[in-house]
Amino acid sequence: MLTTRFAPSPTGFLHVGGLRTALYSYLYARKNGGKFLLRIEDTDLKRNSQEAVVAIREAFNWCGLDYDGEVTYQSKRFDLYKEYIQKLLDEGKAYKCYMSKVELDELRAAQEARKERPKYDGRYRDFTGTPPSGIEPVIRIKAPLDGVIEFKDGIKGDMKFNCADILDDFIIARSDGTPTYNFCVVIDDALMGVTHVIRGDDHLSNTPKQIILYEALGFKIPEFFHVAMINGSDGSKLSKRHGATDVMEYKNMGYLPEALLNFLIRLGWSHGDDEIFSMHDMLEFFDPHDINKSASTYNLTKLDWLNAHYIKTLPYERLADDMKYFGLDFRAINKGELLLDSLRERSKTLLELKNSALNIINEPEIYDEKALAKFISDEAKALLGEFKDELGDKDLSAKEYEEMTIAFLDNRGKKLKDIAQPIRIAITGGTVSPSIFEIIEVIGTQKLKSRITKLLSK
């Protein structure tokens, strides 16, 4: 069965680049009826954070990425790793290295003087003497001394690494007995049945080491897909100065998970000229073999465009639910659905939608001075006063308010432009809003009259 995994380290929030990797892995597994697993790589006990684990799972829940089975925690598998380290020792495929810090410093100084790449020289590879006292050994794998390691990367194509150039007998267990990253990854991926590993290309240099371990342990080597990084608009690695990197920060800024996932899948993958991808579309079209080799560029303008699209098209009930997160319950607002529908066309984020709604629901405390100077003349005030007196007391529909207003203006030889902005300023304090007749229906006749009276008193 095709099986993928996402394996973050819980040292902070879930990075959007990590979410992209998770999405690619999720889609490939689900498309092929396989398994998608979540593993927390928490062997670094000093840097791990339980809050980070919670943040990772919270981000998955928000984005709707479900995983199969229970979450695997590496910190609970140390006994398992020790068994396999001992297996390699017993088979002569690994050995104890008693190199002291003094020896290591001397070796590196000599290599630097010769302008050589720092590299362990294998001095304890075949050691059979008496171990030096006072030194707890590390465990090193017996790596090949020559030859090449080759594999076909699903994105980058044929890869070849010369053993003599890139490898030494790297450490698989530290002097305190804790296993190293590459060793744990190989054990876990093999025993969890992972068949396809999709990860960032910053892991490419780890792959030859991991292949050595797969072969030493007799495990089947999975297929690898190394995804190019996401760059900021200036070409450098994506960081906070380019935009938010924490997945949940996007939720707080008013982005929808559909928009964020749509945005991320297009950072390195495409399907013709299509831009909009629902989860159904992603599952139908995505193939990791089609991921671009080159780095992608983060573009917040594109995310805003996608988010605006989903705000316009998602059902009212769904948006009303999401808006509760921002403390605004449209179901508790008079004409809440009308208000939301009138605002969704001009909102790029849910925060913008919230602020626009409050600008209509709440009576203005201040007015745009430029708007007052431009639109609230003595003539406009007189027209507004007459309009208020003709409103009556009954609440009407937007269409009825429009018909009444047009008749009012026709009787005075006026046009809609003569009163539209003054009404808008009276309601919101400014000149930007949806159709004035829709927002009048939302607030009702009495509140409209009250706001006109307030404006005229200025």
Whichever domain contains 430, its CATH number is 1.10.10.350
Q: Which amino acid, 9?
A: S
Q: Given the residues 240, 293, 370, 415, select the one marked as catalytic.
A: 240
Angle (CA) 426-374-343 rounded to 5° is: 45
Does 343 map to a domain?
A: yes
Among 196, 227, 258, give the residue marking a domain's end.
227
pTM higher than the cut 0.85: yes
**Same domain flag for 257 and 398:** no
Residue 218 Rama label (left phi>0; alpha psi -120 to 50; beta): left
> Residue 241: what pLDDT?
63
Strands (E) in 75-174, as ranges, are 94-97, 138-141, 148-153, 157-162, 171-173
- Counting the structural domains of the chain, the total is 4
> Residue 11: what pLDDT?
74
Q: Which amino acid, 376?
A: I
**Same domain flag for 245 and 294:** yes
Does 364 map to a domain?
A: no
Q: Enter the DSSP assignment of 147.
A: S
Estimate to the nearest angstrom the gap between the alpha carbon of 5 and the chain centroid: 17
**Same domain flag for 341 and 398:** no
Does 257 map to a domain?
A: yes
**Same domain flag for 184 and 208:** yes
Among 227, 245, 260, give the residue marking a domain's end.
227
Q: Enter the DSSP assignment of 246.
A: B
> Residue 42: what pLDDT?
86
Among 227, 251, 267, give the residue marking a domain's end.
227
**Same domain flag for 234 and 97:** no
Rg for the chain, CA atoms, rounded: 32
> Residue 244: what pLDDT?
64
CB atoms near residue 66 (< 10 Å): 11
**Same domain flag for 205 and 268:** no
For residue 168, the SS3 value is coil
**Same domain flag for 308 and 322:** no
Catalytic, 240? Answer yes
> Residue 100: what pLDDT?
86
**Same domain flag for 95 and 216:** yes
Nearest alpha-carbon partner for 125 in 112, 111, 139, 113: 139
For the segment 302-343, what is each residue's pLDDT rounded down to a tens digit?
999 999 999 999 999 999 999 999 999 999 998 999 999 999
Per the CB < 8 A criterion, the answer to whether 136 and 96 are in contact is no
User: Tokens at residue 386, please?
Assistant: 């007459």
**Same domain flag for 103 and 218:** yes
**Same domain flag for 246 and 272:** yes
Low pLDDT (below 70) residues in the chain: 45-49, 239-244
> Residue 47: what pLDDT?
67
Does 73 map to a domain?
A: no
Residue ranges for the binding site for ATP?
240
Domain CATH for 207: 3.40.50.620
Structural domain containing residue 164 = 78-227
**Same domain flag for 150 and 185:** yes
**Same domain flag for 213 and 99:** yes
Does 252 map to a domain?
A: yes
Per the CB < 8 A criterion, the answer to whether 434 and 345 are in contact is yes
